Chain A
Amino acid sequence: MSFLQTAWLVTRKDLLIEARSREILYTTLFFAVSCVLVFAFGFVREGRPLADAAAGILWIAIAFSGTLALGRAFERERQSETLRALLLAPVDRPALYVGKLLGVCLVLLAVEAAVVPLVAVMFQAPLFGHPLMLVGLLAAGTVGFAAVGTLFAAMLVRARSRDVLLPILLYPITVPVIIAGVRGTAALLEVEADLQVARMWLSMLVFFDVVFLTLALWTFEPVMTE
């Protein structure tokens, strides 16, 4: 079986489970919505949001709900020891990683599809002025965040106190993704959208994705071997 076939099988399995229970999608989505709501109380004054608040709130909601989705996605594998079964399968280990990563990314992109319009409406942010650039930033940011997150969530499956360790490990390492995502989105939200700045942040995100995907693919095999 080829690398991509294996990865797709793992993704399909995750999506199938998700389509039947819709547990991760619903919980993550409502968590993201509550996040946006909570932040609205902090950053909206007399009916007007603070400058740049929309970009920050959008990315914080993505990061928080992403952590939740990552934790749930691997908790599911832990409950009936199915991760062990996956690892026992005679296939490339990195393919399993890519499969899980793809599943997490798809769930997160679905959540973003709901959260972006919500933020645009609630914070009067012109998020759809440059749709392609915004989609690029969101996709590259999500892949970067999930690339680090999937590896960490996978390796923490067997660790104690994994619930609290995941955000502790994930947030400091994904600081560049958050900065690039927030600044890139904020550049799009200016009165005169600054496309050049947004493009620079996008290229940084892509660079981050390439480096950390490579590192994750390389470390997944030794770290998942018992």
Chain B
Amino acid sequence: MKKAFPFLLVIVAAMFAYAPVLIVGAPYESEMGLIQKIFYFHVPSWVVMFTSGTVCGVASIRYLMTGRKEADRLAQAAAELTLLFGLIGLMTGPLWARKAWGVWWQWDAKLTSALVMWLIFAAYILLRRFGGPGAEKLAAVVGIFGMANWPFVYWSVNIWRTVHPLTTVVPTLPGSMLGPLLFCIAAFLGLYLLMLVARLHLERRRADLEALFLAVED
């Protein structure tokens, strides 16, 4: 991964530089016009958030079963990135919703389940930060429960809303818009991978440093 890192960095940087060209080139959505373009960054950030949440959950299971520190570091890095990309989604979403729906927030299944997921991972970070020694094991349980919880949240919110139906503008994507979207999703996933590796590296260094400190003190 160390060798591949600079390559990936260049590729992702190039992709992000080229993304605006593709986004400008994509046709305007007939009803929403310019505001629809936020989608090319909004959807990828959610895709990354859910990928990252799953990575955190799987790494948590691994840590709880094997007790390997490396899995715990991966879970922590993934949880932090879940929070970051979720925040991008939570900020860009209302900007679009204000124009498309006329309100900043809608209690729709996707919005609500994403918010609940984001809260769970915020709780994960809070637990690690303020839980004191031994909090990483407890955090692993939260990671697993968070991942297992997502289908329940989505399903229950979905039915809660369909019992009281709501007419929303559901954009359907033609091919000329799908291309740039997939491109952006790939770029975001690349960025995610870069940040995850960098964060993991930082955490490894910190653990090494701590071990050295302990060795000196002994």
Please give the residue numbers on chain A whose beta carbons come within 8 Å of chain B beta carbons, in ascending order.
148, 151-152, 155-156, 158-161, 165, 168-169, 172-173, 175-176, 179-180, 183, 197, 200, 204, 208, 211-212, 215, 219, 222-223, 226
Given A204-B155, A211-B148, A223-B64, residue A165 in contact with residue B130 (CB < 8 A): yes
Enumerate chain B residues within 8 angstroms of A183, measured Cβ to Cβ: 159-160, 163
Checking B65, B123, B144, B156 against A179 with a beta-carbon cut-off of 8 angstroms, the contacting residue is: B156
CB of B28 closer than 8 Å to a CB of A? no
Cβ B127 vs Cβ A175 within 8 A: no
- Ranked nearest first, the 4 interchain pairs of A and B with the lowest CB-CB distance are A160-B132, A176-B152, A172-B119, A159-B131
Given A172-B119, A176-B156, residue A223 in contact with residue B145 (CB < 8 A): no
> Which residue of A has the minimal Cβ distance to B142?
A169
Report Cα–Cα, A25/B213, bound state, in Å: 49
Checking B131, B142, B159 against A161 with a beta-carbon cut-off of 8 angstroms, the contacting residue is: B131
Given A165-B131, A176-B156, A215-B145; 15 other pairs, CB 8 A cutoff: A148-B145, A152-B141, A159-B132, A165-B127, A168-B126, A172-B116, A172-B146, A172-B149, A173-B120, A173-B149, A176-B153, A180-B156, A183-B159, A219-B64, A223-B64
User: In the complex, how many angstroms separate the beta carbon of A184 from the nearest chain B beta carbon?
Assistant: 11
User: In the complex, how many angstroms separate the beta carbon of B121 from the nearest chain A beta carbon?
Assistant: 9
Please give the residue numbers on chain B whose beta carbons come within 8 Å of chain A beta carbons, in ascending order.
64-65, 116, 119-120, 123, 126-127, 130-132, 134-135, 137-138, 140-142, 144-146, 148-149, 152-153, 155-157, 159-160, 163
Report Cα–Cα, A173/B64, bound state, in Å: 19
Report Cα–Cα, A152/B126, bound state, in Å: 14
Cβ B123 vs Cβ A169 within 8 A: yes
Enumerate chain B residues within 8 angstroms of A226, measured Cβ to Cβ: 134
Given A169-B123, A172-B119, residue A155 in contact with residue B156 (CB < 8 A): no
- Inter-chain contact total with CB atoms closer than 8 Å: 85
Cβ B135 vs Cβ A204 within 8 A: no
Given A161-B131, A172-B119, A175-B153, residue A156 in contact with residue B148 (CB < 8 A): no
User: In the complex, how many angstroms separate the beta carbon of B135 from the nearest chain A beta carbon?
Assistant: 6
> Which residue of A has the minimal Cβ distance to B119?
A172
Given A173-B120, A179-B157, residue A212 in contact with residue B145 (CB < 8 A): yes
Report Cα–Cα, A179/B157, bound state, in Å: 7
Cβ B126 vs Cβ A165 within 8 A: yes
Chain A contact surface mostly:
helix
> Which residue of B has the minimal Cβ distance to A226?
B134
Cβ B163 vs Cβ A172 within 8 A: no
Enumerate chain A residues within 8 angstroms of B65, measured Cβ to Cβ: 222
Cβ B141 vs Cβ A204 within 8 A: no
Cβ B123 vs Cβ A168 within 8 A: yes
Report Cα–Cα, A179/B144, bound state, in Å: 21
Q: Which among A160, A200, A215, A219 has the greatest number of chain B C-beta atoms within 10 A? A: A219
Cβ B132 vs Cβ A215 within 8 A: no
> Which residue of B has the minimal Cβ distance to A175?
B116
> Which residue of A has the minimal Cβ distance to B121?
A172
Cβ A215 vs Cβ B148 within 8 A: yes
Checking B116, B127, B141, B163 against A223 with a beta-carbon cut-off of 8 angstroms, the contacting residue is: B141
Checking B127, B137, B156 against A204 with a beta-carbon cut-off of 8 angstroms, the contacting residue is: B156
Cβ A215 vs Cβ B144 within 8 A: yes
User: In the complex, how many angstroms separate the beta carbon of B98 from the nearest chain A beta carbon?
Assistant: 25
Enumerate chain A residues within 8 angstroms of B145, measured Cβ to Cβ: 148, 173, 212, 215
Report Cα–Cα, A168/B142, bound state, in Å: 11
Enumerate chain A residues within 8 angstroms of B132, measured Cβ to Cβ: 158-161
User: In the complex, how many angstroms separate the beta carbon of B117 from the nearest chain A beta carbon?
Assistant: 8
User: In the complex, how many angstroms separate the beta carbon of B62 from the nearest chain A beta carbon?
Assistant: 12
User: In the complex, how many angstroms separate the beta carbon of A123 from the nearest chain B beta carbon?
Assistant: 21
Enumerate chain A residues within 8 angstroms of B130, measured Cβ to Cβ: 160-161, 165
Cβ B126 vs Cβ A223 within 8 A: no
